[in-house]
Amino acid sequence: GESVGLHLPTLSVQEGDNSIINCAYSNSASDYFIWYKQESGKGPQFIIDIRSNMDKRQGQRVTVLLNKTVKHLSLQIAATQPGDSAVYFCAENKDGGTSYGKLTFGQGTILTVHP
Amino acid sequence: NAGVTQTPKFRILKIGQSMTLQCTQDMNHNYMYWYRQDPGMGLKLIYYSVGAGITDKGEVPNGYNVSRSTTEDFPLRLELAAPSQTSVYFCASSPPAHGHGYTFGSGTRLTVV
């Protein structure tokens, strides 16, 4: 079936570096994408989202890029801090209709930030 | 605001036992969801609800039941627990429009032995 997946299961960076976490999706009908951060023992925490009519969206220290041509999503974290260490998931949804809310999650990338 | 509250946080069940995982939200969100997360994996949707009295199956509904009698509460029922249901269960809620994210609870870690 269609799914959302990640290229790299783990990513290690030094504090202060920029991090890039990638995600590939296969459902061309998806039009809404979310990045979540999950710390150990906690539920996923919303980071940033983007609709398919956008290529880029920025938040505080985070940027999401969407390339619909190759069905690729990335999360960029600027000046990565030890507190950013967590598992990062991308999720996708087809906006509206009966598909609303049925998020499809990727496997996750473990980000480790070394001081 | 408490957000999404799940109870219990941990539970061990014997095969064949049943239990209800509780979920309540105080944000007046129409939509609520139950996901399960297996080790090293992403979340998979079990059931969801678009409002009181309305529920629908997600990707992995077998072995579970839900009800939505109020906007606030969305309990998940496990009947005849099986080892394959060992997982971490997350409840979430959202308003009926994208752009607000989904608010997740802190999870219930269930072990079936």
pLDDT in tens, B93-113: 988 766 666 899 999 999 999
Q: Is A97 on the interface with B (CB under 8 A)?
A: no
C-alpha to C-alpha distances, A1 to A103, A104, B59, nearest whole angstrom: 14, 11, 11
Query: For position B2, what pLDDT does the model report?
Result: 76
A13: three-class secondary structure by DSSP: strand
User: Which residues of A are less than 8 Å from B103 in CB distance?
Assistant: 46
C-alpha to C-alpha distances, B45 to A112, B37, B55, nearest whole angstrom: 27, 9, 13
The phi, psi pair for A75, rounded to 5°, reads -120, 125
Q: Which conformational region is residue B25 in: left (phi greater than 0), alpha (psi within -120 to 50 degrees), or beta?
A: beta
- Cβ neighbors of B73 (< 8 A, separation 6 or more) are B22, B23, B24
User: Do B23 and A69 form a contact (C-beta atoms < 8 A)?
Assistant: no
User: Do B43 and A105 form a contact (C-beta atoms < 8 A)?
Assistant: yes
User: B113: how many CB neighbours lie within 10 A of its CB?
Assistant: 10
Query: For position A3, what pLDDT does the model report?
Result: 47
pLDDT tier for residue A4 given thresholds of 50, 70 and 90: low
Contact B48 A101 (CB under 8 A): yes
Kindly state the tokens that stand for B93: 């809620």
* Separation between Cα atoms, residue A41 and residue A43, nearest integer Å: 7
- Indicate if the pLDDT at residue A75 is higher than 90: yes
Query: For position B76, what pLDDT does the model report?
Result: 98
Higher pLDDT, residue A76 or A99: A76
- Cβ neighbors of A16 (< 8 A, separation 6 or more) are A79, A80
- Across the interface, of A43, A101, A107, the residue whose CB is closest to B31 is A101
- Indicate if the pLDDT at residue A1 is higher than 50: no
Contact A105 B92 (CB under 8 A): no
